[in-house]
Structure 1
Amino acid sequence: MTAEPLRDPGAGLQPRADVAGSHVVRLDLTGRTALVTGGGSGIGRACAVRLASAGATVLVVDRNVEAAKAVAAETGGRAEGLDLADPDAVDRIDADLDVVVNNAGLQHVAPVPDFPPDRFDYLHRVMVDAPFRIVRRALPHMYERGWGRIINISSVHGLRASPYKAAYVSAKHAVEGLSKVIALEGAEHGVTANCVNPAYVRTPLVEDQIADQAASHGIPESEVIEKIMLARAAIKRLVEPEEVAELVAYLCSPVAGFITGASLPLDGGWTAS
């Protein structure tokens, strides 16, 4: 298979025109409220836009309050500027939610002996503790209405490991287990819980990793995408945020009502090998 030409990482990661904006799932979320964490950019922004296009009122949560406000203005939703590592801040999030998209995440690349414990703890608070607290608050409302969708944006690293990512890999594995427990408990109440597992997505988070990955692996930054990020995928390109958002939309649709406790790879064949 011939790989797509790889752009210079320093030039920015531009979206593919044949993917961006191509909504196909029939979905009506009129009257529903959806929370998207990390909604100010990347996957979160794409999910907020997609769910709003289906009629949902979207609560956009992001540490960058200006980015959250911009997406909220774009989608006709509401914005909250919160650091999800702060339990008190998480507990202020509106609990009357019908859809929860736990997307917020961050990365730190370092070998285990050099990995700062406080950074390890911070990643887990954002990507494990915060989703637990949010879902714990939202479930009573979902149970009362007899319908709810919990969608955790996990990663291929929730199913596979890579070196130098102890906090991220372990956090994503943890949220996989949490999602399955929620699925089992919520089934009788009309609530589903699933993980979406993308490989590297064309987002600022990926751009921010390039320098660290180059240093950790001892290669030039220009080679990181091809030699590290796409090395294990059969389809040699990055995932687009809109592709992730469309799978999120599908999981909210009536035809997906029997899918729960699942981990859905969007990885270009990475986990097939």
Structure 2
Amino acid sequence: MQPNQPHTVLITGSTSGIGLAIAHCFARAGHHVMLHGLTDADTSQALLAEFSGYSGRTGFSDADISSEAGCAQLVSETREAIGNPSVLINNAGIQFTAPAHDFPAEKWHQILAINLSAGFFLARDVLPAMRSANWGRIINIASVHGLVASENKAAYCAAKHGLVGLTKVLALENADCNVTANAICPGWVETPLIQPQIEAIAREQQLDMDTARAQLVGAKQPVAKATSPEAIGELALYLCGNFASTITGASLPVDGGWTAQ
């Protein structure tokens, strides 16, 4: 596949937040998109209807990628719906916080399975066709926590650091066949997930919402502003474009200066 042709793009965890924003960015640009997430039939149908106005094909899978078999199912359903993936975006992730000495084993295994192992299994399944076509892009949505640590996030930090390491290996192994692998490492992103934290700060300290948001984000980021999900989508799109063919093995912070400190 040549870079100026429509890509077939598989995006895990793309029913909301960053993943959904990435999906819209690629669909608007004319690419074929495979949506994925654990959701009910009504939600999946509404999502497909939401994407029906775009020119490319759209599919949906609710495969459980916490297992190797679920990852294989997702790749198979993607091939059936939109064709062989030329772009893989590993975005799906879960979170749980607790001190390491109290961290439940079940949560540790779940987080590593979805945040790290799924990325490996999916890449392993799609790489042979990418290599054969002499073109492919793997983009791992890691995190600032793939570069630095925070307390109470042992499993999340371990998984995201692992994802950054996996990205580098994939970049080296596939440099000979025009397949790149990169990690995007967001800091705070303006999604519904951070809203309860902002509201709690506003309530406890009697602040307006904008001040509470700046306080939450500014505690870690010199630029006290959360990134929009669309910005992550546009960066992913750029990494699949004509000018990004020599960007590979990179871990790209989008973190308001968090990791510059």
**TM-score scaled by structure 1?**
0.81
1:40 aligns with 2:19: no
Deviations 1:143-194 (A, max 9, x none): 1111000000011111010001111111000000001000001111110000
Shift of 1:54: 1.6
Letter matched to residue 262 of structure 1: A
The residue number in structure 2 matching 1:78 is: 59
Deviates more, 1:70-79 or 1:92-101: 70-79
Q: Secondary structure at the match of 1:125?
A: helix
CA shift in 2, pair 1:117/1:52, >3 Å: same
Deviates more, 1:70-79 or 1:163-172: 70-79
Aligned residues: 240
Matches within 5 A, 1:124-135: 124-135=112-123
Q: Secondary structure at the match of 2:235?
A: helix
Q: Secondary structure at the match of 1:236?
A: coil
> In structure 2, which of residues 39, 48, 60 is the aligned counterpart of residue 64 of structure 1?
39
Whichever structure has more helix as a proportion of its residues is: 2
The residue number in structure 1 matching 2:135 is: 147
CA shift in 2, pair 1:250/1:268, >3 Å: same
Letter matched to residue 49 of structure 2: A
Shift of 1:226: 4.6
Deviations 1:5-56 (A, max 9, x none): xxxxxxxxxxxxxxxxxxxxxx8552x2100000000000011111111221
Q: Is the 8 A contact 1:48 1:75 kept in 2?
A: no
Q: Percent identity among equivalent residues?
A: 40
Separation in 2 of the partners of 1:146 and 1:70? Answer: 35
> In structure 2, which of residues 250, 254, 259 is the aligned counterpart of residue 262 of structure 1?
250
Runs of 4+ in 1 over 2 A off after TM superposition: 65-76, 204-208, 219-230
Separation in 2 of the partners of 1:176 and 1:220? Answer: 37
1:87 aligns with 2:75: no
Gaps of 5+ in 1: 1-26
Q: Is the 8 A contact 1:105 1:123 kept in 2?
A: yes
The residue number in structure 2 matching 1:168 is: 156
Higher normalized contact order (CA 8 Å, seq sep 6+, divided by chain length): 1
Separation in 1 of the partners of 2:4 and 2:17? Answer: 23
Shift of 1:249: 0.6
Letter matched to residue 46 of structure 1: A
Gaps of 5+ in 2: 53-57, 77-83
**TM-score scaled by structure 2?**
0.85
